[in-house]
Amino acid sequence: MLKVLLRSVVIGLVTAAIIIAAMPSLRENILPKRSNASTDITSLQISFNSAVSKAAPAVVNIYSRKYSENNRNKLSTQGLGSGVIVSEKGYIITNYHVVAQADQIIVALQDGRVAAAQLVGKDRRTDIAVLRVEGNNLPVIPLNPNYQAKVGDVVLAIGNPYNLGQTTTFGIISATGRSSISADGRQAFIQTDAAINEGNSGGALVNTQGELVGINTASFQQATDLETYGISFAIPYALANTIMEKIIADGRVIRGYIGVDGQDINSVTSRLLGSEHVGGIIILAVDPNGPAAKAGFEPRDIILKIDDHKINGRQSVMDLVTNLRPGTVANFTLLRKGEEITVPVTISEDTR
């Protein structure tokens, strides 16, 4: 009986196999479908449309116009750049070099509106200028003060290169805190490989959420006939925002000054001093006419704190000092010959 049953099962399976082989159309109904390569690629498609849609309307075209030397009644466009609307009040951040020589500044929004802009103020040292336009329902770029730029983050550069119209390029953050390209070695830039060309200056560098990361400012060009690609720089949003607030408050940037130059403590020295002193900077030189000299600072002193703020390297000292108002007194904690001392310093204004 069992043999008869097994024989029937085998015959049935063989018959089914023969029928399926003879009629391929039946396979689609019986066998599961296999996903093909094109379906897999489609499902993995990546788009930054959402980020661009949020940020792009707030990125404007800027045209700098200047009076003709021969005819003071004639204005002609001399410069091209971009800017970013960062406030509903119409404040725009752009680069100083975009508007430095302008007699009139024209701003064109992506929705077709065109307006003359007021120059609120500019700061050559950081290459930041602040403009203002009047208007209702102005688009404002998304801002996130808690975002911290990190190497490897995907970023998008939005601007108006060569007056072609608004253009978005794509890349990653290659470095943060890149200060070697600044004139005085004091300003830290974000380095990216997103393409930044003429006309992009003052435009927005945004993350994949459309949030402002920085203000595009320059591309790296070697002093040779070789063209360089993939090395561009942006001013961090935190710095640009600080400069903007100072300009709005005072019409210019007022910086504190104490008159010292120093360098970060290296790893060997930090181990000798102990972990509690990591982040301090060694004073290399003291301006003989500066506030630090009057307060008694000496070369080889190590700055550990400014008021109650524990410092973290040379850049943090510069940031803290420049943000102090001239005339105020700040307490500096120094390490001198193995002993901590507190020295009050009256801050003066940096007029360099």
Structural domains of the chain ordered from first start: 52-132 (2.40.10.10), 154-249 (2.40.10.10), 256-349 (2.30.42.10)
For residue 179, give Cα distances in angstroms to 12, 183, 184, 298.
79, 9, 9, 26
Phi (first) and psi of residue 58, to 5 degrees: -90, 0
Question: Quick count: other Cβ atoms within 10 Å of Cβ 302?
Answer: 18
Which of 175, 152, 184, 183 is closest to 234 using CA atoms? 175
Coarse DSSP helix, strand, coil percentages of the chain, rounded to the nearest 5 percent = 25, 35, 40
Decide if 216 contacts 195 (C-beta within 8 A): no
Query: If residue 341 lies in a helix (H) or strand (E), which one and from where to where?
Result: strand 339-346
pLDDT of residue 13: 56
Which of 110, 63, 102 is closest to 85 using CA atoms? 110
What is d(CA 63, CA 338) in angstroms, rounded to the nearest whole number? 58
pTM for this predicted structure: 0.78
DSSP count for the chain of H helices, then E strands: 9, 21
Q: Dihedral through CA 236, CA 242, CA 246, CA 251, nearest 10?
A: 30
Q: Dihedral through CA 87, CA 90, CA 91, CA 93, nearest 10?
A: 90
Give the chain's length: 352
Which residue in this structure is represented by tokens 């004073």? 283
pLDDT of residue 169: 93
For residue 252, give Cα distances in angstroms to 43, 119, 135, 176, 318.
52, 11, 24, 26, 18
Positions in the chain short of pLDDT 70: 1-45, 72, 180-186, 219-229, 266-277
Burial of residue 165, with CB atoms counted within 10 A of its CB: 0-12 exposed, 13-18 middle, 19 or more buried: exposed
What is d(CA 103, CA 91) in angstroms, rounded to the nearest whole number? 19
* Active-site amino acid positions: 97, 127, 201
pLDDT of residue 284: 92
What is d(CA 299, CA 312) in angstroms, rounded to the nearest whole number? 19
Q: Dihedral through CA 239, CA 317, CA 152, CA 207, nearest 10?
A: -20
pLDDT of residue 30: 46
